[in-house]
Chains A and B, each alone.
Chain A
Amino acid sequence: MVAHVTTPFQSIAEIRANLDDGTYSCRELAESLISRIEEHDNDINAFITVTADDARSTADAQDVLIAKGQAGPLTGIPLAHKDIFCTEGVKTSAGSKMLDNFIAPYSATVVAKLKAAGCVTLGKTNLDEFAMGSSNENSYYGPVRNPWQTSHVPGGSSGGSAAAVAAGFCPVSTGTDTGGSIRQPASMCGVTGIKPTYGRVSRWGMIAFASSLDQAGVFARNAEDAAILLSAMTGADPRDSTCIDAPIADLTQELSTPLTGIRIGVPEQYLSELDAPMADLLTSALFEMEAGGAKLVDISLPHTRYAVPAYYVIAPAECSTNLSRYDGVRFGYRCEDPEDIEDLYKRSRSEAFGDEVKQRILVGTFTLSTGYYDAYYRKAQQIRRLIHQDFVAAFNSVDVIAAPTCPGPAFRLLEKISDSIAMYLQDIYTIPVNLAGLPGLSMPIGQIGEMPVGMQLIGQYLDEARLLGMAHQFQQRTDWHLATPTLQATGVSHG
């Protein structure tokens, strides 16, 4: 077993300093984290694939660059990618039996950019199948467990990426967020997570769930790390027509901007139904912001209650056609001995998709059908516009909106899996942000029953730097983001 060269919970800034002054090498750091993953991931199940050999050779190459004085901000920084980003030569499963045999022949723009920036990829993290879920219980590779308490879920769908950062397997990781899939697990795992503006990060190579809502983002120990990593992922991409035509952004530029004078909108609809412990923590966090100089403003987002129903029409509609390509013909799972093409389609899809995916395909197929389109899909799009207008109106009087990330802390495995509605309501505070295409960030603000919870900051279009700056300022005043779980050493290694 490799000696740990560092505490597993260092930030990018700390790692950068240690790599640059030779305290340890990229290779030593990578080995240390690989052995930690081997030691503990049997309990957490954050990884679907650990790319240890590739990590070692990449780390060696980064050590050469550092020795030559050619290191950039991310040179040698270890990370993990949600297993929904295509990674050339590596299995990219989307958490599905359907793609269990799929070795991606190309890399997603996100993967390629971070590789070029010098990041060392440790592996591919677990997720709800095709990113559909809020507890990470819908994975073909088994559920991810929350590092804070393994009887609990980590949230979803990017549960593996959130748990990996929380467990000290890597300082940062990538995720995707269609209705809360970065912010909700960030809240439940006690880490900082940000979903940028729709179009800020290219979707090329990111396996689609709901194209008009999917957006890549990051998990980190703190806002500064999130800003560094996310900056490297931004920029126009000619291979994604919906990617914003803007140069690579420096999202660290407002980290030192004080909270003074920033107007934070607090929507009445988001607070009225919160349980007392959650409401108390949120209030404390808002008072902390106020103490830092921010101004709290009551606002109204009147169409909030229609967001979840609208989302569960639009997202399934898009997913029902996005997932049509998984037909057993060209790649992925194919059933044994199909009788004819109809049988090939039916059995390949029936045997390889999980229940939640099937449910959403069926719902989406129904809502797009002739005779139902106007009643469901068109109406949902109208609601989407109203929700967008709610935000536009609110941003006339405030700079940022604060809200809970999710209704409460992580729940137990199996607690909500049989109740779709209860599960869907997990995303009641995050979904409106995706419908409007706005950036949203979640950061730790306390604990309930020894489980972390987060607060969400919602920004105007392309205003990620301000969200990250505010979170950084908050993290200068508090230390919830420094809390870490203690992993039980099981001694079981699966190297």
Chain B
Amino acid sequence: MADWQAVIGLEIHAQLNTRSKIFSAVSTAFGAAPNTQASLVDLGFPGVLPVTNEAVYEKAVAFGLGVGATINHQSVFDRKNYFYPDLPKGYQITQLDEPIVEHGHMDINCADGGRKTIHITRAHLEEDAGKSLHKDYAGETGIDLNRAGTPLLEIVSEPDLRSAEEASTYARQIHKLLTYLDICDGNMAEGSMRCDANVSIRPSGSSELGTRTETKNINSFRFLEQAINHEIERQIAVIESGGRVVQETRLYDPDRDETRPMRSKETAMDYRYFPEPDLLPVVIDDSFISAVRDRLPEMPYEKRARFQTAFGLSEEDAETLSGNRSLADYFEYVASASDPRQASNWVRVELLGRISKDSFNSEDVPVPASELASLINRISDETISGKIAKTVFDALWQGETDSVDAYIDAKGLKQVSDSSDLAPIVTAIIANNTKQVEQYRAGKTKLLGFFVGQVMKETGGKANPKQVNDLVRIQLDTV
């Protein structure tokens, strides 16, 4: 590998989270019964015409501003022609020569600790195709056109990426930006964001580009890294065994961790692009752009910096907690309503231990931010111990309760802090463990923990550990 350098560019397809489709008034909601969200326009019936849902313009412009790009005052929709059963009109409406967004960039952190700028060639609007379903219909193909006409923003990077890790870092940053700007729900399992990876290799030090392959439709960051690494290794093996890389489109199979050819350049389709005569050019004026700019939310890097200063977090923790907008909003609520450092620990350890940062969606988290804040506050005011708090958190997570305070009361989990309650227990423990008392007094002071543990056990964990500690030490040291 040291002899070779990988050159990678990504095409990211992000479904825009508009309520209706890009060229019809039909809902884009995921998961409806097949073909129940497809109008005559989506079905490509004779005589129908597309009308652009103007909500897509604002989302594309917001993305453009988020990556410091040029917003073109005029852009043009084109037809991309090919036959496929899930493409009802026989063409996809997209943008070729005049996209709505061009010349942006995204800075990423590299493995060596440095920063690197990835140039974004363009981002253009287009419609998604339907889905062909091969599994459930022996010998036949089912076609679901619910997805046909879902708005997509295709974000094309320059071949600035040099490793699978960089590619996945860049893709994660794009994902973060899309969710921050609320232009894509970011749900990769549902296909809301999909990547095509263009990969080539060249001898280290060379400035010429090798022949590239395109691996299509990768829908997770892990698969993206695997697919690129696989493809780099495959290309190296081809060249080192005296072969040549063929320009082709490949498909990544995550089950087998391999890419395989879909079609080569020789059989590549001629899409016969030409301007879509059913739609007028898209005109975006400066006042529209500045209105979108005024409505832009806090950007990810701005939020990270604010988390560091406002909540005293390390850069790394702030980066993690601002990693997705839903997560950031959740954390910010908890941190503002309780101790911020504790909030940081609980969210990072307990929540992100259970759900991945990338798929975090506060609506799916069974522990509401308000309850996590209460839980942290009950630790701070010494109502419960940290250990008990974990069992309360588990109960919230399992859905056994929806209220921290009610659960503490019902289960009698309040810690015992009253020394008149605790002192007799401590006295009894010391009396029943004479051997350990002798050892302690002979200098084995580490046994303090043993006595504290016994008291905690006796009280069912409810005793205030700090107070038990004090009482045990006083009794052992003073007798």
Contact = CB atoms under 8 A, between A and B. Distances in A.
Given A211-B277, A241-B52, A325 B270 contact: no
A336 to B, nearest CB: 16
Contacts of A205: 47-48
Interface string A292-331: 0000000000000000000000000110110011110111
Interface stretch (B62-70, B85-93, B307-315, B376-384): B85-93
A324 B274 contact: no
Interface in B254-287: 270, 272-274, 277-280
A368 B274 contact: yes
A55 interface: no
A242 interface: yes
A399 B272 CA distance: 40
A325 B90 contact: yes
A94 B46 CA distance: 10
A240 interface: yes
A238 B277 CA distance: 16
Contact of A238 (B47, B51, B85): B51
B289 interface: no
A377 B79 CA distance: 14
B44 A325 contact: yes
Interface residues of B, number: 29
B40 interface: yes
A24 interface: no
A86 interface: yes
B263 to A, nearest CB: 14
A165 interface: no
A102 B46 CA distance: 9
Q: Tell which of B47, B51, B52 has the most Cβ of chain A within 10 Å.
A: B47
A369 B270 contact: yes
Contacts of B89: 324-325
A178 B280 CA distance: 19
A208 B141 contact: no
Contacts of B50: 241
A331 B85 contact: no
Contacts of B273: 368
B269 to A, nearest CB: 10
Nearest to B89: A325
Contacts of B270: 369-370
A324 to B, nearest CB: 2
B277 A99 contact: no
A270 interface: no
Q: Tell which of B88, B90, B141, B279 has the most Cβ of chain A within 10 Å.
A: B90
A124 interface: no
A488 to B, nearest CB: 36
B301 interface: no
A105 interface: yes
Contact of A207 (B44, B46, B79): B46
A330 B278 contact: no
Given A321-B79, A345-B83, A368-B274, A208 B280 contact: no
Given A241-B280, A318-B277, A324-B91, A330 B43 contact: yes
Q: Tell which of B85, B141, B270, B272 has the most Cβ of chain A within 10 Å.
A: B272
Given A324-B91, A325-B90, A212 B47 contact: no
Interface string B87-114: 0111100000000000000000000000
A329 B143 contact: yes
A471 to B, nearest CB: 30
A19 interface: no
Nearest to B80: A321
A107 to B, nearest CB: 10
B85 A341 contact: yes
Interface of B: 40, 43-52, 79, 81, 83, 85, 88-91, 141, 143, 270, 272-274, 277-280
7 contacts: A241-B280, A242-B280, A321-B81, A324-B91, A325-B89, A331-B46, A341-B85
Given A241-B278, A329-B143, 18 more contacts: A86-B47, A99-B46, A104-B47, A108-B47, A204-B49, A205-B47, A206-B47, A211-B277, A240-B51, A241-B279, A320-B81, A321-B81, A321-B90, A321-B91, A324-B91, A325-B45, A325-B90, A329-B85
